Amino acid sequence: MDVKKVLWPTDFSSQAEVALPYVQSLTQQFQAEIHVLHVIEDIAHHEGWYGEFGRDHIEKLKEKLKDRAAERLDQVCQRHLEGCPLFIRHVAVGDPAEKILHFIGQENIDTVVMATRGSKSSDFFGSVTERVIKSSPVPVTAIPTAGEAQTA
């Protein structure tokens, strides 16, 4: 197995961080790049629930969220990924599973390492992880979050 690019999708939750030791191990073993991806949910699709948003307001909010996400990615990379040879930060806007799957092809990712669920899920498998596993063209390693190993 030759791994040159590893994708670690994160929602900045403690659940997502359980995958970091596995990401670090793969990158150290193969001297692979780490691509850290955070996907911001596109709020424009919520208009039906909350009324129509002004397009300028939505764009300003997206830019603010992107800037904040970039700052948080920098913090995560500096705090947790110093031992890795190369890490590249990415921020996308849209449906998380769709963006992760698109990103795999766009960046020629060799493998994905992610938590079984993120901050919004209470099920063993979160919907994003499940959709990525079912549709990914590359291997996906799903790392159980705290307490799941005993109940799974």
What is the reported pTM? 0.77
| The pLDDT value given to residue 60 | 75
Q: Cα(39)–Cα(94) distance, rounded to whole angstroms? A: 7
pLDDT band at 148 (very low <50, low <70, confident <90, very high): very low
- Residues of the chain above pLDDT 90, percent: 31
CATH number of the 5-151 domain: 3.40.50.620
Among 63-72, 119-128, 137-146, name the one with the lowest average pLDDT. 119-128
pLDDT band at 149 (very low <50, low <70, confident <90, very high): very low
Q: Whats the size of the chain, residue-wise?
A: 152
Closest CA to 13 of 109, 120, 110: 120
Residue 146 CA, distance from chain mean position: 18
Q: 13: which 2 tokens?
A: 């939750």
79-134: pLDDT as tens digits: 766 645 577 888 888 899 999 999 999 999 999 999 986 655 555 567 889 999 99
6-61: pLDDT as tens digits: 999 998 888 888 998 898 888 888 888 989 998 988 765 545 545 555 667 667 77
